[in-house]
Amino acid sequence: MSARWRARFSAASSGATRSSSAAMTGSVRPPEMTADDVCGFLSRMDARGIHVWLDGGWGVDACLGDQTRPHSDLDIVIEERHLEVVTIALKRLGYEPVPRPDTRPWNFVLGHDTGRQIDFHVIVLDERGRGLYGPPGTEDHYPAEALIGKGTVNGRAVDCITPEWLVRFHTGYRVDAMDWADVSALCARFGIPIPREYLGFL
């Protein structure tokens, strides 16, 4: 896994997204992306025939079939060919770009003044079903087997990153207690070995 790929997760784990949310709202109370918010977003995508995969914290909870903690944002994986339609639709709903030092065309955040945020991970599917993630010629990708996950949010069936790959994507950076909560729940439910980064939590 390259440094560029790992940086995606270290930025999230550092609290950069949560901090920018608080700055947008001027509130000391952490904003929350609720299950109803997630289902509402997915319904809008369904109406436009756009397929997305849940990643990050909501991807974990979708695999588990239950919400285990509050979420400040919604991480999604989406094909580049759908990007313009989705961003235009969200901007009409009041979403605007959230400045971050790690913003890239393939990884950026749109936020609402209510504090809700959507973190985009943009891919191009290749002939092998892999989701290429990054600039042209990148070697970083979501493996095809990572994109076949199934889960539920509020009883709604959703596509998501598979548990095994969610665990892998929670490695390669300085992990914290929130990461451990996600990883330990996935490992316990799906019989996945605990990565060495987490052995200190045992």
What are the DSSP calls for 28-62, one per residue?
Answer: SSPP---HHHHHHHHHHHHHTT--EEEEHHHHHHH
* Contact between 120 and 76 (Cβ < 8 Å): yes
Tokens linked to 199: 């052995």
From CA 180, how far away is CA 113, in angstroms rounded?
30
Q: What is residue 4's predicted lDDT score, i.e. its pLDDT? A: 36
Q: How confident is the model at residue 29 (pLDDT cuts 50, 70, 90)?
A: low
Residue 30 has pLDDT above 80, yes or no: no
Nearest Cα residue to 158 out of 77, 72, 73? 77
Q: How confident is the model at residue 23 (pLDDT cuts 50, 70, 90)?
A: very low
- Beta 156-160 vs 141-142: how paired, if at all? unpaired
Question: What percentage of the chain reaches a pLDDT higher than 70?
Answer: 85
Q: How confident is the model at residue 28 (pLDDT cuts 50, 70, 90)?
A: low
Determine the number of helices (DSSP H) and then strands (DSSP E) in the chain.
Answer: 7, 9
Q: What is residue 137's predicted lDDT score, i.e. its pLDDT? A: 85
Q: What is residue 31's predicted lDDT score, i.e. its pLDDT? A: 82
Query: In sequence order, what are the residues at sequence separation of 6 or more whose Cβ sits closer than 8 angstroms to the Cβ of residue 24?
Result: 98, 111, 113, 115
From CA 165, how far away is CA 97, in angstroms rounded?
28
**Residue for token pair 């319904």:** 43
Beta bridge pairs of residue 175: none
Residue 17 has pLDDT above 90, yes or no: no
